[in-house]
Amino acid sequence: MQYLLRQTYELKGGETILFHAAAGGVGSIACQWAKALGVKLIGTVSSQEKADLAMANGAWATINYTEENVVERVRELTNGEMCDVVYDSVGKDTWEMSLDCLKPRSLMVSFGNSSGPVDGVNIGILNQKGALFVTRPSLNGYADTREAPRDDVRRVFRHD
């Protein structure tokens, strides 16, 4: 988790992010950490129970994607500003929607593929949607020294 919120992109207070699967294991930690950092986390969920859990863990807002249009709801919640970063562990099913939730020149972090891998992407779409940046990080790319995992765990517990 630390590599997503602090190394792939160093979140800062006041920013707004979209986090898919906000009531899952990784999402629950993200909600708590984002709140501790002063970041507005909008979490996608599939039920009211999951929305309640994400909110209890610190999400600023939730969107039930089975009942609401995610892009329109993000636009409403952000007064049209959209998100600084989208964290997408879902993959294929949310790829295009995730890009549509971003501000121009902001970052899409694709770190999972529970709905299948994102493939056949025309890289020109990043320009068409506002000169966006995309990354596909993994823990192995950040925990590449013996000290890195230990340092990462310390940062998790300090919320820095």
CATH number assigned to the domain comprising residue 10: 3.40.50.720
pLDDT at residue 141 is higher than 90 = no
CA–CA distance, 27 with 57 (Å, rounded to integer): 9
CA–CA distance, 149 with 155 (Å, rounded to integer): 10
Domain contains 122: no
Closest CA to 95 of 30, 18, 42: 18
Q: Which domain holds residue 79?
A: 1-86
- pTM of the model as a whole: 0.90
- Tell me which amino acid residue 149 is: P
Per-residue DSSP letter, 115: T
Q: Angle CA(107)–CA(116)–CA(101) in degrees, nearest 5? A: 30
Burial class (CB in 10 A: 0-12, 13-18, 19+), 83: buried
Domain contains 97: no
Q: How high does pLDDT run on average in the chain?
A: 91
Given this model, what pLDDT does residue 6 score?
86
Given this model, what pLDDT does residue 85 score?
98
Given this model, what pLDDT does residue 138 score?
79
pLDDT at residue 152 is higher than 70 = no
Overall number of domains in the chain: 1
